[in-house]
Every structure is written in structure tokens, then in C-alpha cells.
Amino acid sequence: MNILYITMDGFDTASPNNQMAEQLIDGFLKLGNRVHLIQSERKHTYDVLPGTLVGRDGLTVDTLSRKVIDKSNFVVRYLDEAKYAFQMISYAIKRRDFDVVFLQSCPTVFFQEALLKLFVRKPVLYNVYDVWPGQTKSLNINKMVYAGMDLLSRAVYRMSSAVVVLSEDMVEACADAGCPRPRLHIVPPWFDDRRNYDIPWEKNRFVKKFDISHDKFYVQFAGSVGLQFNWKTMFEVAKLLRDEPDIVVQIIGDGCVKKDFMDAVDAEGLTNVAFYPLQPVDMVPDVYSTGDVCLIPLRREVIYTGTPSKMPILLACGKAIVSSVEKDSLYAAMVEREDLGVCVEIDNAEELATAIRTLHGDPERLTRLCEHGRAYARENLSRTVCVKRMEQVLEGIRRGGEA
């Protein structure tokens, strides 16, 4: 199968899509497909292609130059991304030998999809990371702007031969937004099974780097300590757990609210919170392996239009997860059904502290959750499994009709 892979940002620019793109393209090639990548280059922070893809048989690349535009200038950014769609289509037209199109979601995906429909007329898989406009309905934006965004997203769903999302909740959100259910497919976020995630304590680089003791029960949050992170709830949790001498809260990462959190901890005289700086990407398995319980704190409504991408790695590391999430979500039902961890209400410090105490006091249950999580990840959330699922969807639309 010949696959045209189109993405807005290229490998040279830091993006959460880059790891997924590298693993998908590598996986497609290993499965015997040919891939032509159309991408852009802007910031030149990294190489145009990662080392794993350089010189690969079956891979060809077109890289289009774009300007660096300040994130706060929404209108200019939007126009620049729309312009990229028109530049991209001329390169796509030249590649008449491909069978299917893999189109990564972006704010201006309507223009890419419409141009592909008009000039290329090959089946398109639309890969969705966040349902758009999604939770923006709950934000204070102009109703006409939202209505226009909603109409464009509905048009994209109608033009796509298949729509791939990350979770059951996203299936419902897309269906509610007008996407025909037969076109919807789930390929969840995955962990890279080319790597080792079973990091013993004595070989853990993060442990050695910060000389972390093995005689504590570590409750870990690793990620951005920015505006989306409710540090005040975690601060209340730490206060509720201050009389538990064995329990330590680890906060690993950087962000604009980290200093406020640290100042509050100092002012309260808490000794059960340990702060660490953001660690390199290659250290992620070591970081996650340090925690006994790993936290996934989500903002309200996020779970209905997205999904926590760190979950597969946490489970692969054999960690029980405690998620702050709406309990009526299909995500919460899955965590409970598969016995992967515990879900608590968002911003409920007392419920979160109780869940931590319960797991700390029940090592048998904690071990069971860890074992179930590792097995579930291996069977359902590995790169090998998920790339194969994506290829099956592409093959389905290549044969004709909806996958």
C-alpha cells in the first residue's frame, strides 16, 4: 500500500505529534508499505527527519518552508496554516501513485481535506487527537465563531473516508458532532514497545541522579506544572497526607505555577512534597518507574474530547494510575472494568487523598492493579498493536468505502 502522510508541523519543530508520526511511519514501512511524507519546517530546532527514518527504503519526503509566527497572533497563524494547505496540495497532486491519505488533525484541516477532495480524490483517513471545536463550547467565545468552527468540523467528517480517534469518549463526541458512526475507529495512544519500560530501582537513572530513597511510598505527578495543572488541589492533598510519614508526593516538571506551589509548601512547612525539574524524554521510563502511584489530573470536560496520552506508558511501567476525571465518562468505566487504577472526582482533594491512603495500605490490591495494567498495555496499547490497527483502517478504505 502506498500512503500519503500529511502533517502540519514537521519534525524540525517540537510537537506532541512527532513521536507518534515517527512511530507510525516507521511501523508502516516495516509492514511493507511505502510512505510519502509532506511536512513543513519552521523552527529548525531538530533535524528534518529523525535518525530512525533517514535513508529508509520506501520513504520519500517533501518539506515546505513556513514562517515562525507568535502563538498569540491567532489570525496570522490561522492564515499561514491555511496557506500551507494550498502549498501542500500542489505536492500531493504530483504523487499520483499513492492509494490512501493519512491526514493529521490541525485547526485548518478543513482546507486540506477540501483540496484533497477536489484535486486528489483518494480515500482519506482523518486522524483526530482532540475533537475540534470540542470543549471550546464551554469557553467564553463568540457564538457565531463557534458555530462556524462546528460547521467546518462537520464538513471534514463528511469528507473523510475514516475518522480515527483515541477513545470511546471521543467516538461519542464525534458522533454528536455529526460524524457517521461507521466511519469512526479507535486507535488509542500507545507506548513504544521498542523500548524497555521495566526499570529496576537499582538501575533507575532518575533515582541515581537525585539519590532517591527506596523506603517511601511515592505518589507522582510528572508533566507540565502550568496553568492547566491545579496545584491548589495537590497542595490540599499534601496537607491531608502530612501525618503519613511514608507517603511522599513527587512533582516532576516545570511551569508557570510551580513557584507558587513551592512557596505554599514552604509556608505551610510541609516536608512530604519533593519537587524535581523537567527530565529529558529518554528518562521518561525511569521517572515513571519511580512512582508507586501515578496521578493523571485532568481538567473538566477534557476526557470527552481527548484522552491522557501518558496512560499507556504508565501502565507499561507497571504503575497503578489515579485519575481525576468525570466518573460518568467511558474512560472511567474502562479503568474500573479493566482494573487499572482508581478514578476520583476532579478537584476533590479529600477523595484523592483517601484513594492514595487506601492503595498505600493495601499492597495486594496495588500489586494487582500494576499487574493488570502491564498486561492490558502489552495486549492493547503497544506500538506494534496500534500501528497494525491503523494500517487495517487504511487498508479498509483503500479497498473502497468506509473501513
- Give φ, ψ of 167 to 5 degrees: -155, 170
CATH (domain of 279):
3.40.50.2000
Question: Does one domain contain both 356 and 276?
Answer: yes
Count other Cβ atoms within 10 Å, centred on residue 112.
Answer: 29
Q: Which of the pair, 243 or 229, is modelled with greater confidence? A: 243
- Give φ, ψ of 219 to 5 degrees: -105, 115
Question: Does one domain contain both 210 and 230?
Answer: yes
Domain range spanning residue 119?
2-190+383-398
Question: Does one domain contain both 206 and 219?
Answer: yes
Question: Does one domain contain both 390 and 373?
Answer: no
* Position 138 pLDDT exceeds 50: no
pTM: 0.88
The bridge status of strand 217-222 relative to strand 184-186 is: unpaired
Question: Does one domain contain both 164 and 214?
Answer: no
Question: Does one domain contain both 186 and 206?
Answer: no
pLDDT confidence of residue 300: 86
Question: Does one domain contain both 176 and 205?
Answer: no
Q: Quick check: is 241 in a domain?
A: yes
Name the percent of the chain lying above pLDDT 90: 70
Decide if 324 contacts 344 (C-beta within 8 A). yes
Grid cell in block for residue 154 = 462537520
pLDDT confidence of residue 146: 65
Q: Which of the pair, 137 or 134, is modelled with greater confidence? A: 134
pLDDT confidence of residue 132: 65
Question: Does one domain contain both 148 and 227?
Answer: no
Mean pLDDT of all residues in 36-50: 89
The predicted-structure confidence for 376-400, as pLDDT tens digits, reads as follows 999 999 999 999 999 999 999 999 8
Q: What is the mean pLDDT of the chain?
A: 90
d(CA 92, CA 120): 7
